[in-house]
Protein backbone atom coordinates (compact mmCIF):
# COMPACT_ATOMS: atom_id res chain seq x y z
CA UNK A 1 0.00 0.00 0.00
CA UNK A 2 1.45 3.37 -0.95
CA UNK A 3 1.67 6.30 1.44
CA UNK A 4 -1.24 8.19 -0.19
CA UNK A 5 -3.54 5.19 0.23
CA UNK A 6 -2.38 4.73 3.81
CA UNK A 7 -3.00 8.40 4.60
CA UNK A 8 -6.49 8.20 3.06
CA UNK A 9 -7.37 5.08 5.09
CA UNK A 10 -6.11 6.73 8.29
CA UNK A 11 -8.12 9.90 7.62
CA UNK A 12 -11.29 7.89 6.94
CA UNK A 13 -10.74 5.77 10.06
CA UNK A 14 -10.23 8.81 12.29
CA UNK A 15 -13.34 10.46 10.84
CA UNK A 16 -15.32 7.30 11.54
CA UNK A 17 -14.04 7.17 15.13
CA UNK A 18 -14.98 10.83 15.56
CA UNK A 19 -18.53 10.21 14.25
CA UNK A 20 -18.93 7.20 16.55
CA UNK A 21 -17.67 9.14 19.58
CA UNK A 22 -14.74 6.80 20.19
CA UNK A 23 -12.06 9.51 20.40
CA UNK A 24 -12.59 10.32 24.06
CA UNK A 25 -9.04 10.54 25.42
CA UNK A 26 -6.41 13.11 24.62
CA UNK A 27 -3.56 11.71 22.49
CA UNK A 28 -1.13 11.33 25.41
CA UNK A 29 -3.63 9.43 27.55
CA UNK A 30 -4.70 7.38 24.55
CA UNK A 31 -1.10 6.34 23.90
CA UNK A 32 -0.56 5.39 27.56
CA UNK A 33 -3.78 3.37 27.58
CA UNK A 34 -2.81 1.57 24.37
CA UNK A 35 0.56 0.60 25.83
CA UNK A 36 -1.08 -0.59 29.04
CA UNK A 37 -3.51 -2.77 27.10
CA UNK A 38 -0.71 -4.44 25.15
CA UNK A 39 1.36 -5.17 28.26
CA UNK A 40 -0.83 -8.24 28.67
CA UNK A 41 0.60 -11.22 26.76
CA UNK A 42 -2.80 -12.79 26.10
CA UNK A 43 -4.16 -9.60 24.53
CA UNK A 44 -1.10 -9.41 22.27
CA UNK A 45 -1.64 -13.05 21.28
CA UNK A 46 -5.30 -12.37 20.50
CA UNK A 47 -4.36 -9.38 18.35
CA UNK A 48 -1.72 -11.42 16.49
CA UNK A 49 -4.27 -14.17 15.82
CA UNK A 50 -6.77 -11.63 14.52
CA UNK A 51 -4.11 -10.34 12.15
CA UNK A 52 -4.05 -13.65 10.32
CA UNK A 53 -7.70 -14.76 10.48
CA UNK A 54 -11.21 -13.57 11.24
CA UNK A 55 -12.29 -15.09 14.53
CA UNK A 56 -15.68 -15.01 16.21
CA UNK A 57 -16.25 -14.54 19.92
CA UNK A 58 -16.79 -18.29 20.32
CA UNK A 59 -13.64 -18.97 18.29
CA UNK A 60 -11.57 -16.71 20.53
CA UNK A 61 -12.97 -18.38 23.66
CA UNK A 62 -12.07 -21.79 22.27
CA UNK A 63 -8.66 -20.88 20.86
CA UNK A 64 -7.50 -19.22 24.09
CA UNK A 65 -9.44 -21.40 26.55
CA UNK A 66 -11.41 -18.48 28.01
CA UNK A 67 -14.82 -18.26 29.63
CA UNK A 68 -17.34 -15.61 28.53
CA UNK A 69 -16.26 -13.13 31.20
CA UNK A 70 -12.54 -13.28 30.44
CA UNK A 71 -13.04 -13.24 26.67
CA UNK A 72 -15.27 -10.16 26.98
CA UNK A 73 -12.78 -8.47 29.30
CA UNK A 74 -9.80 -8.87 26.95
CA UNK A 75 -11.73 -8.11 23.77
CA UNK A 76 -13.29 -5.02 25.33
CA UNK A 77 -9.85 -3.77 26.39
CA UNK A 78 -8.48 -4.24 22.85
CA UNK A 79 -11.56 -2.60 21.36
CA UNK A 80 -11.48 0.34 23.81
CA UNK A 81 -7.82 0.91 22.96
CA UNK A 82 -8.82 0.94 19.27
CA UNK A 83 -6.72 -2.11 18.30
CA UNK A 84 -9.69 -4.20 17.15
CA UNK A 85 -13.26 -3.71 16.06
CA UNK A 86 -16.34 -5.87 15.61
CA UNK A 87 -17.70 -6.65 12.17
CA UNK A 88 -20.98 -8.43 11.60
CA UNK A 89 -21.11 -10.81 8.67
CA UNK A 90 -23.88 -13.27 7.95
CA UNK A 91 -25.41 -12.65 11.37
CA UNK A 92 -22.20 -13.48 13.23
CA UNK A 93 -19.82 -11.08 15.01
CA UNK A 94 -16.15 -11.29 14.06
CA UNK A 95 -13.20 -9.32 15.35
CA UNK A 96 -10.63 -7.71 13.08
CA UNK A 97 -7.66 -5.39 13.65
CA UNK A 98 -8.20 -1.66 13.14
CA UNK A 99 -5.60 0.49 11.44
CA UNK A 100 -3.94 0.91 14.83
CA UNK A 101 -3.95 -2.87 15.30
CA UNK A 102 -2.54 -3.38 11.82
CA UNK A 103 0.18 -0.84 12.59
CA UNK A 104 1.15 -2.72 15.74
CA UNK A 105 1.28 -6.02 13.87
CA UNK A 106 3.32 -4.54 11.02
CA UNK A 107 5.73 -2.47 13.09
CA UNK A 108 6.19 -4.61 16.19
CA UNK A 109 5.15 -8.21 15.74
CA UNK A 110 6.59 -8.59 12.24
CA UNK A 111 10.00 -7.46 13.54
CA UNK A 112 10.26 -10.30 16.06
Range ranked top by mean pLDDT from 7-11, 16-20, 93-97: 93-97
Which pLDDT score, from 0 to 100, does residue 30 have? Answer: 78
Q: What share of residues in the chain are helix, strand, coil (percent, to 5)?
A: 65, 10, 20
Domains present along the chain, CATH in parentheses: 3-111 (1.10.10.10)
Burial class (CB in 10 A: 0-12, 13-18, 19+), 57: middle
Per residue in 82-92, pLDDT (tens digit) is 999 999 888 88
pTM surpassing 0.85? no
Per residue in 38-81, pLDDT (tens digit) is 999 999 999 999 998 889 999 999 999 999 999 999 999 999 99
Question: Is the pLDDT reported for residue 19 higher than 70?
Answer: yes
What is the rounded average pLDDT of the residues 26-41?
87
Q: Which runs of consecutive H residues, i.e. helices, occur in 20-98? A: 27-38, 41-52, 57-64, 68-80
Amino acid sequence: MDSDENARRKKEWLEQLEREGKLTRNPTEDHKFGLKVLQNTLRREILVSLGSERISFEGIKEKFNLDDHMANFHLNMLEDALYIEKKEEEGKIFYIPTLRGEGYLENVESKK
